[in-house]
Structure 1
Amino acid sequence: MSRSRIRLITFDLDDTLWPCLPAIQAAEQVLHGWLRDKAPRLAEAHDIESMRAHRRTVMESMPEIAHDLGLVRHRSLIQLLESFDYPADLADAAVSLFLEHRSRVEPYPDALPVLRALAPDYRLVSLTNGNADVEVTSLRGIFAHNLTAAGIGAAKPDPAMFRRALELTGCDTDECLHLGDDPWTDVEAARAFGIPAIWVNRTGRDWPETLEPPSLTVTHLYELTAWLKDGRTGDDDGI
């Protein structure tokens, strides 16, 4: 792939542009505290881990909605609320509260400056299986499009989000580059669809032995801008 042909760069969000776990843990703590007030019998019977286990059973029993984590949480809460004789419509407020706090992410220090530097020269599109809302974070306004598994109807590694990003921007696979932290749902999924991919490995993880190694790995996004600049100044060996 010629770096000089790249017009579209797609980015995963969780653990690529911001750490995911702190926001989820905080949101689940807030939600459980809310349930202790609104549905105390439920909150006493179920801690955060057992509620997580219940969501897994919902995903297994309803695979048609498993890609939509917000809907899975909503269905799980309805079942739990009803089992303790609480009104099901409490689930609406509970999920809204969770999503509000789920989106209180803290992007990595390199994310905003690099994205701002790339935006004049590339179409930028976010692709996520998660349910954080980019437009209420400090990265708002950066991306031309923000695609989610819930909105598309399929989660990576399904190619639907990659396909939609190409459709929305009028780009071909050889004009696109994807970055993400997950070896399977980001790197391998993009490669299988014909899109070159860069592995964002911020934490020094080992690459899975069962997968072909990535063509390029970066530990922060400044390495991406350096790599792109090299390609535009004649040192273009592709990936």
Structure 2
Amino acid sequence: MDKLPTERAFRLLTIDLDDTLWPCAPTIERAEAVLYAWLERTAPRLTEVYDQEAMRRHRRVLMMSWPEIAHDLTAVRRHSLRGLLSAYGYDVALADAAVALFLEHRNRVIPYADVLPALQALGAEYPLVSVTNGNAEVARTPLRGLFGRSLTAADVGARKPAPNLFLGALQWGRVPPERALHLGDDPYRDVEAARRLGMAAVWINRGDTPWPHELKPPAGEVADLGQLRCWLEDRRRAL
């Protein structure tokens, strides 16, 4: 286990979003289905050639060929749609309406049952910052108002495991890394990336998956945020 500062010393909690606070895949699938149905009505020449998977491949190729925007998933989707719409004789301005529709539904997340009460309790004790590689906008989700700051990869210019998101949160909170605790579902992009900076990290393992054998164990492992509160309480009692 990682060596931790005393629990009372944590002065900031950073928290991942997708697959930590809500399931990501079904949210994206619903949003893409709505967008594709809109494209079928609005740009049928395009959808006659490109199904949803082909459009995903187009975005992946764009990310590889245009790495300077690869961290900004909204920009990638917009540029991809502009290129496809233009190729099939449509006004590229339709891409803006398409992206707006996608984001409307992308933000209709359904948090796990433990999340809302846990964040309300944690927020009463710690400043909370959300950090995400994705393009969810917390202020447009059911978790609006629960974070002091919300940062995306697009905001800071890089995706985890790059340190930019964590550094942005630490700067906002005006705390050194050893006084911050990160919570996330990904062993590499969350736990390992945070502790490379000297932060403590707890693995939110909702799927009961094994920890990667090549990484040293995290400071803590919990199945949900309710267990995290217990983990913090255990640290408090151990003082």
Q: With structure 1 as the length reference, what TM-score do the two structures score?
A: 0.96
Q: CA RMSD in A?
A: 0.9
1:115 corresponding residue in structure 2: 119
Partner of 2:147 in structure 1?
143
Q: For 1:170-206, what per-residue CA distance to the aligned partner results, in whole angstroms no more than 9, with x for missing partners?
A: 1111110000001111011001111111110101112
Partner of 2:160: 156
Match of 1:86 in 2: 90
Give deviations 1:15-48, integer Å, cap 9, x for gaps. 0000111110000000000000110010111111
Per the TM alignment, residue 123 of structure 1 is displaced from its structure 2 partner at its CA by: 0.5
Q: Which amino acid aligns with 1:138?
A: P
**Equivalent pairs, count:** 235
Superposed displacement of residue 219, structure 1: 0.4
- Which runs of no fewer than 5 residues in structure 1 stay unpaired? none
Q: Structure 2: how far apart are the matches of 1:25 and 1:211?
A: 31
Q: 1:130 aligns with which of 129, 134, 143?
A: 134
Residue 86 of structure 1: CA displacement?
Answer: 0.9
Distance 2:59 2:27 in 1: 18
Q: CA deviation at 1:142?
A: 0.3
Partners in 2 of 1:204 and 1:54 — Cα distance? 33
**How far does the alpha carbon of each residue in 1:48-72 deviate from its partner, in whole angstroms, 9 at most, with x for none?**
1110000000000000100000000
- Provide the C-alpha distance between the structure 2 equivalents of 1:211 and 1:217, rounded to a whole number of angstroms: 14
Which contiguous aligned blocks of 4+ residues in structure 1 show a shift greater than 6 angstroms?
none
How many Å apart are 1:153 and its aligned residue? Answer: 1.1
Secondary structure of 1:45 counterpart? coil
**Is 1:4 matched with 2:8?**
yes
Per the alignment, residue 225 of structure 1 pairs with 229
